[in-house]
Copies of this chain bind each other. A is one copy, B any other.
């Protein structure tokens, strides 16, 4: 590492975003592409680092996310939650080639075992940038939604919900496939799904009601995608017992953010949208500085 400019990469499963960082933490420019770890072979990383340096400059690289998993370039062991930023920064690993990897975080609790790689950087960044108070609940929807509970500026506990993946499975491969057409959107069908999931803890039963409702003409097929999405997201949100009356810091954008905001509001929470790119940049810079 050095005290000059550097390159930071949020390197996920399917996408990555590369940031050229000034020594003081200012983002000079950034670039997003679909060269996530699933698109890379383990052998390809050295060439990739060279290509990145050709475009961004011959700077040190610090990367977080699935690039540090067994499916990525080098497997960096998880740190254990509860964890604060300085501990995570101490565990940043020099992997050679002037490339440093941020470890993921593990929760070693029987029945609530969990892992994450990358999301912790955004959370620490939102804290470091003063975008959020030192205590709060973060929600990071996606294929896997992460709920991260922060206390005193420290990540205390977290939980991964397979909400997005279940929706994809149901849309692509299940008996509901023929009903799930178009994209889910806010409206009466999504609200009905939220309501249905909150009324009873019976997701595996509730899901089939989407099919039966269409077959019996109680619901138009154009509504099924939103209804199913409402049940899944509603079930995900309803499973948290700390939303009612509280702020939820939502690290997301676009239509998924809108759906989660609606579900959080329905559960009595207040959604505070947080910019996930700004959070990543602030987080990786705080880690970079702390690791010097």
Residues of chain A whose beta carbon lies under 8 Å from any beta carbon of chain B: 78, 106-108, 110-115, 144, 147, 159-163, 165-166, 169-170, 172-175, 192, 195-196, 199-209, 211-213, 215-216, 218-219, 232, 235-236, 238-239
Contacts and interface: CB of A to CB of B under 8 A. Distances in A.
Contact of A201 (B112, B196, B201, B219): B201
A106 B165 CA distance: 30
Nearest to A110: B218
A214 to B, nearest CB: 9
A235 B239 CA distance: 13
Nearest to A215: B115
Q: Which of A175, A205, A209 is the most central at the interface, judged by chain B CB atoms within 10 Å of its CB?
A: A205
Nearest to A200: B239
A231 B205 CA distance: 14
B161 A165 contact: no
Nearest to A164: B204
B192 A111 contact: yes
A196 B161 contact: no
A106 B205 contact: no
Contacts of A236: 204-205
A204 B235 contact: yes
Contacts of A232: 204
Nearest to A203: B203
Contact of A239 (B159, B170, B204, B219): B204
Contacts of A172: 173
Contacts of A169: 169-170, 173-174
B162 A207 contact: yes
26 contacts: A107-B212, A108-B216, A110-B213, A111-B196, A111-B206, A113-B209, A113-B216, A115-B211, A115-B212, A159-B202, A159-B205, A161-B204, A161-B205, A161-B208, A162-B204, A166-B166, A166-B204, A169-B169, A172-B173, A173-B173, A200-B239, A201-B238, A201-B239, A203-B203, A204-B236, A204-B239
Contacts of A218: 108, 110, 113
Contacts of A162: 174-175, 204-205, 207-208
Nearest to A211: B115
B239 A209 contact: no
A232 B199 CA distance: 19
Contact of A216 (B115, B195, B239): B115
B115 A239 contact: no
Interface centre among A199, A200, A219, A232, by most B CB within 10 Å?
A200
